[in-house]
Amino acid sequence: MYKNKLIVFVFLMISLYLFHTEVLSKEIPAGKNITEVLDEMEKANSAFKTLKADIVYTRAIVLLESTETSQGKMSYKKPKKLYLKFYPPRNEVNIVDGRHIWVYHPSEKQVEKYEIGSKQSSQGMGFFEFGYGESVEAAKKNYKITLSDTKEEGKKRIYILDLLPKDPKSQYTTIRLWVEEGFWLPGKIELRESEGEVVNTIEFKNIRLNKNLSDKLFTFNVPRGVEVIEPFK
């Protein structure tokens, strides 16, 4: 299930560009309060239609003192199209075409296929729908958010936001965002599982907004000789 979870984290990260949520107001000296930060984020959300970036994904298991880092590139097009490629040694391609999720492993000559929104989809796949379309009520129902800190990095001010799931059965114990003032979109997200024993960190590098992206990029054509696996069918 590890490989399948990764694309879920990416969906959640992108959804956080689009959310409106219930907040707890907290003033931060010499900066904006939580309401003002989220207002700026909403403006930035509405201004972009596509996103391209390099991505660094790190998964750390605290008890095992194990850390794995993967690098790649991604393209996203509103509302439900995603292309995510990881370089070797991971060597994996994830594509969301609006109806299905494809997880392609070229070296194994296999591709996993999941239906978006299916109750039998992989664990946490419901996060794909969060943040797309009508997300206001879902956010208010599922999360509270606080502005926990600000940091000065050179001439940049970074706002650190904590999201606390209201559902005690949530896959994630806590979610943390790093948002740069002026850009107003999350550049880094941390998702903690199992009471913090598993830490997933995703960082965007070299973000480019509103580049022309052809729909062909988000279409997966099964190569000859590749086995299609539908785990929940």
* Residues 76-113 pLDDT 10s: 898 888 999 999 999 999 999 989 999 999 999 999 99
| Coil, helix or strand at residue 36 | helix
Find the angle CA(188)-CA(71)-CA(95) to the nearest 5 degrees: 90
Find the angle CA(130)-CA(135)-CA(139) to the nearest 5 degrees: 80
Sort residue 194 into left (φ over 0), alpha (ψ -120 to 50) or beta: left
Distance CA 148, CA 96 (A): 33
- pLDDT value at residue 169: 83
Confidence check: pLDDT of 23 > 80 = no
DSSP-assigned letters across all residues of 109-121: TEEEEEETT-TTS
| Coil, helix or strand at residue 103 | strand
- The superfamily (CATH) of domain 2-229 is Lipoprotein localisation LolA/LolB/LppX (2.50.20.10)
Distance CA 99, CA 81 (A): 9
Q: For the whole model, what pTM was predicted?
A: 0.80
**Where are the chain's structural domains?**
2-229
- pLDDT value at residue 189: 87
Calculate what percentage of the chain has a pLDDT beyond 90. 43
Higher pLDDT, 174 or 134: 174
Confidence check: pLDDT of 2 > 60 = no
